[in-house]
Amino acid sequence: MTIQTSQNVTADNQCMYISGVINFNNVMDIERSALLLLAEQDKVCRVSFSRLTAMNSAGLSLIVSIFTYMNRFNRSVVFEDLPENAIKLSKISDLHTLLPLK
């Protein structure tokens, strides 16, 4: 069963998909939708960015927010299929040592 809370966030089984574009104009709406879906997930969740078309540094704040939320409730999260620019930004800021990026 697929659940959709916004045009950018959908989930099925143990995976949440972020799609489209993440930028400063929409990151708060995407975050709200993502956290609503995560509230319904089990202990472990995968967040896939495989359907993403573009992302700026606002996307990194989304990743940190999701990671913080999951840790607060003793849940695990793995971020998959991140765009290369997000991986580079995480390395520049040393976040790659904290975040479970694949």
Per-residue pLDDT tens digits for 71-93: 898 888 899 998 888 888 888 88
Task: Report how far apart, in Å, the C-alpha atoms of 49 and of each of 46, 52, 92 are.
Answer: 10, 5, 20
1 band by pLDDT with thresholds 50, 70 and 90: very low
Residue whose pair of structure tokens reads 């993403």 in the numeric block: 52
Residues 45-76 as b or e (16 or more Cβ within 10 Å = b): bbbbbeebeebeebbbebbebbbebbeeeeee
pLDDT in tens, 8-67: 898 887 789 999 999 999 999 999 999 988 887 777 789 999 999 999 989 999 999 999
User: Where is pLDDT greater, at 95 or 53?
Assistant: 53
6 band by pLDDT with thresholds 50, 70 and 90: low
Q: How far is residue 78's CA from residue 46's CA, in Å, rounded to a whole number?
A: 5
Query: How confident is the model at residue 2, as a pLDDT?
Result: 47
Query: How confident is the model at residue 90, as a pLDDT?
Result: 80
Percentages of the chain per state (helix, strand, coil), in multiples of 5: 40, 35, 25
Domains of the chain as residue ranges with CATH: 2-97 (3.30.750.24)
